[in-house]
Amino acid sequence: MSKGIGDRKYRDGAGLSMRTIIAVSIAAGSFIILADRSQAADRDGGAQLAAMCASCHRLDGGDGGIPTILGMSPEMLARAMLAYRSRERPSHIMRAIALSLSDEEIATVARYLAALNK
């Protein structure tokens, strides 16, 4: 019966076996894949949250009587949402929406909307 490379006692200069090197490589690859999935989820989450915004604010730059949110920086968008939440800016509708979102969700949608401008 033939043995695979992982069964042999190959050692590199640091004394690591081939099996250890392969295991570490697989673990590192898995970490990279998970990081990519997390970034994709952030983009998808931003798109889903932005769909809620698009129901009133046109995301094509048009103005239907409601101020556009395109062209705003992520910081400006997040500050506006937090101001609605704390009643510094008056709007019952925007306050209700801001209250329904976590700080993380506000930051996510703000980053997503700002990226649409680029």
In the prediction, which pLDDT does 102 show? 95
In the prediction, which pLDDT does 80 show? 96
At residue 85, does pLDDT exceed 60? yes
User: What are the pLDDT digits (tens) for 39-71?
Assistant: 543 456 898 899 889 888 877 766 677 888 888
94, amino acid identity: M
Strand partners, 11: 17
At residue 34, does pLDDT exceed 50? no
Range 5-116: architecture per CATH? Orthogonal Bundle (1.10)
102, amino acid identity: S
DSSP letter string, the chain: -PPPGGGS--B-TT--BHHHHHHHHHHHHHHHHHHHHHHHHHHHHHHHHHHHHHTTS-TTS--SSS---TT--HHHHHHHHHHHHTTSS--HHHHHHHHHS-HHHHHHHHHHHHHHT-
In the prediction, which pLDDT does 107 show? 95
| Neighbouring C-beta atoms of residue 17, cutoff 10 Å | 14
In the prediction, which pLDDT does 9 show? 54
Q: Whole-prediction pTM value?
A: 0.60
Cα gap 73→68, rounded to integer Å: 12
